[in-house]
Amino acid sequence: MTDTPRAGQATSALSAQYAPGEVEQRRYEQWVADGLFKADAESDKPPFSIVLPPPNVTGSLHIGHALDHSIQDALTRRKRMQGYEALWLPGMDHAGIATQNVVERQLAGAGQSRHDLGREPFVERVWQWKAESGGKILGQMTRLGDSVDWSRERFTMDEGLSRAVITIFKRLYDDGLIYRAERIINWCPRCLTALSDIEVEHSDDDGELVSIRYGDGDNAIVVATTRAETMLGDTAVAVHPDDERYQHLIGTEVELPLTGRRIPIVADTHVDPAFGTGAVKVTPAHDPNDFEIGQRHDLPSLTVMDEHGVITAHGPFLGLDRFEARPAVVAALREEGRIVAEKRPYVHAVGHCSRCGTTVEPRLSLQWFVRTEPLAKAAGDAVRDGRVRVEPPELTKRYFGWVDNMHDWCISRQLWWGHRIPVWYGPNGEVVCVGPDEAAPTGDGWVQDADVLDTWFSSALWPFSTLGWPDRTPDLAKFYPTSVLVTGYDILFFWVARMMMFGLYAMEGRQPFDVVMLHGMVRDQYGKKMSKSFGNVVDPLDWIERFGADATRFTLLRGANPGADVPVSEEWVQGARNFANKLWNATRYGLSGGATVEGDLPSGDGRDGLSTVDRWILSRLQHVIGEVDQQFEAFELAKVCDTLYHFAWDDVCDWYLELTKPVLAGDDEAAKARTRRVLGHVLDNLHRLLHPIMPFVTEELWTTLTGRPTLLRSEWPAADKELVDDAAEREVASLQQVVTEVRRFRADQGVKPAQRVVARLEGLDAAGLTAHEGLIRSLARLDPNDEDFTATAKLAVGVGVTVELDTRGTIDVAAERARLTKDKAAAEKEATQCRAKLGNAAFTDKAPEAVVAKIKDRLEKAEADLVRIDRQLEALQ
């Protein structure tokens, strides 16, 4: 779409105040109706592509999503304006455990379970729920202004993506990179499924550490545990081979209390001799480290707990829940005199299922795994050789720490909702993996594996499955590799590493994205993690409703630099709303003054060209364009916001608009025309620069200013070196210094902003400001001096200009000097007291650090007050 004016469009159709609710939905619907978010795979423009990290189908827009989406939208909108064929592809994840839990809770409310329905009817019920209630987050994304290509929306259970999942499973299986084995996995006794590491949330819980004596006399050995019930499955005690305390016991056996079994004492370098007693109980079926020790020493793995967390070991504890068995086992050991020590409470990290909160149980289970070593090596090499860049670079070390030490990945889940594992078992022990275009074996005795794949398995294919893989589609040819992945640093390993492994494997060494941009977590203004228990959680939809999407986006992006956590507060979003209003009022002023974008931009200086003020703002604009471009390319969105905020508020609104008022109110029509064109150019470019950050208000303002159909498809500003004017910048900086000093003096003395003061200006000629005396007097509210002029105050500003003011009738100089003298004495007393305290070693060495810091702050304030008061007294001569 070209930037051609629309005939007959009004140029002053802006209401007195900006009302986001009257603009945002209307503008978004129009963008979608006009197809402005759609990408064309046949275009000859250079490609730019982002695949949206797929939110769960059960999810709703939270503050983390709002940050993540605001970053992606800003990057995409800018690239679209720069002339790229920009694709931002949306979609959702089927969220196996979470979605199944939702539907199972609905069934439970009607007194049913999924087993009452059976597998196929239950899956149909989930699809029905998805159609009726799932995916509400997609509608919420429109409230934020996400410029995604809705025509390409995908779902991880779509037919095409499901085909991609089966295809890559078959290839990995045939290449020996997928296998089935018994391993220790995270198990949820409530959801009755294996969990990935990211589905386990750790918290510091109160527990009990008990030390238990195995054996007696010289052969006794003490171990400590927080899970006493698992001792029923111990098959060894391990010590470090170099631990002199236990040399005589290595290779011997000891009786396991309560069981009558004898278990060996083995030497293993995994044991830390400095931790606890230096001896550890080994339960291979219920602990991942113990499992590894068991493998090295060929120990049996005894499962003493079923999938519900109920004890299955024969004896007095049979049938007890694990949390019932724990105190019962301790009591029995205490009765036998086996408890050496008990520590209660003992705070330690405990894993919980992220979906239901149940304490996770490490459990030996027959599961499907991906053999990650060769895939992880390729994922590490892609970053090492520069095919993929991590932003910020310092997180690269963490990435290598994970991919270089990755364990095999458990990919099977004991669920019904998800991609079912494409493996069939025959009546005679046959195992057949079936690809998407192959027929499954039939006949008596053939059954398909009951498990489904980990949700992260399908989402690991997201950058290429969404573009049509395994088919060679135009989308895949145009937009893969994707340009940038934007996500939180907390899932660098869990999702990013998996996409790297599968992308490089499936796409023959071509990386899934060129850049990984990792942002931080949203926190409150005090840097505290957001939590419902803390009462500091922010609902972005509430902010959007109250303050507008632009204000919400600006608040989030103002803290969004790579790798850094993002603090937010309601005070800041209110400030962002005020900024949107400032832009609105600035544009209304421009329109009322005749600002225009028509015709060539005037050039030159002097009588027939641009004024110094116009050349100054154009020069400042070029610097800002260059800075913003550099900041965008470095993904420093916070700096983009800061640069544009200060340019818009300080340079444009506070200074340039004020400096244009005398010109636009004057009689020089040629000067008016030049300033109107420059004013239109500045506002035009300011809205373009801000559009990726604040799309709604800038669209409304820009289309009204220019009469053109949409800012979204306009051209991104390009810096013009010819418009950089250092001399004009220096000259206006001197003007600003004079005005600022006078304004500061007036404020210090309590002179009302609108009250005019008679003044004499000296040194303007030497400072090169003679031509600007009218502007200085207008901005500083200074009237010319007359015969009755008496200087009662004198200011010397740094550019060699002296301002003498007649404050009679405005300020009672004697009373003001008396007040200032009194304030100075108080400030001197405060400073003296603070210096005495800080110079006293007895105080600084013993006082809390916070107390010392407070005294330092008081001293700093007192010294600043003294400088200010002396300046005011000097002026009041």
pLDDT value, residue 784: 93
pLDDT value of position 1: 35
φ, ψ of residue 331 in degrees (nearest 5)? -60, -40
Q: Confirm whether residue 582 is marked as ligand binding.
A: no
Contacts of 800 (CB under 8 A, 6+ apart): 763, 766, 767
Task: Give the number of other Cβ atoms within 10 Å of residue 549's Cβ.
Answer: 30
Give CA–CA dist 147/184, Å, rounded. Answer: 44
Per-residue confidence band for 605, with pLDDT thresholds at 50, 70 and 90: low
SS3 state at 156: coil
Q: Which residue(s) pair with 411 in the sheet? A: none
The residue among 535 and 131 whose pLDDT is bigger is 131
Q: Given strand 339-353, what is the order of strands in its sheet? A: 221-225, 200-214, 339-353
Domain spanning 542-724 has what CATH number?
1.10.730.10
Question: What pLDDT score does 10 carry?
Answer: 41
The answer to whether the beta carbons of residues 329 and 231 sit under 8 Å apart is yes
Burial of residue 89 (number of CB atoms within 10 Å: 0-12, 13-18, 19+): buried
Question: How would you class 57 by CB atoms within 10 Å of its CB: exposed for 0-12, middle for 13-18, buried for 19 or more?
Answer: buried
Residue 362 contacts residue 309 (beta carbons within 8 Å): no
Distance CA 248, CA 182 (A): 34
Q: Where in the chain is the domain with CATH 3.90.740.10?
A: 193-362
Average pLDDT value over all residues in the chain: 92
For 234, 262, 345, 757, 798, the CA distances from 338, given in Å and listed in that order, are: 16, 16, 20, 92, 84
pLDDT digits (tens, 9 = 90+) for 666-692: 999 999 999 999 999 999 999 999 999
Please report where in the chains the tokens 């000093």 appear, as a residue: 741
Structure tokens at 409: 């990945």
List the single range of 123-132, 240-249, 428-437, 489-498 with lowest mean pLDDT: 489-498
pLDDT at residue 606 tops 60: no
Contact present, 510 and 481 (Cβ < 8 Å): yes
Global pTM value: 0.85
At 811 the pLDDT is 64
Rounded average pLDDT over 404-422: 95
Give the C-alpha separation, 68 to 560, whole Å: 9
Q: Which residue has the higher pLDDT, 865 or 629?
A: 629
The CA-to-CA distance between both ends of the chain, in Å, stands at 65
pLDDT at 18 over 70: yes
Give me the pLDDT at residue 563, please. 87
Overall CATH class of domain 193-362: alpha beta
Lowest-confidence pick of 37-41, 382-386, 471-475, 828-832: 828-832
Confidence band of 11 (pLDDT split at 50, 70, 90): very low
> Start-end ranges of CATH 1.10.730.10 in the chain?
542-724
Could you give the C-alpha distances from 225 to 166, 229, 358, 513, in angstroms and in order? 43, 9, 20, 45
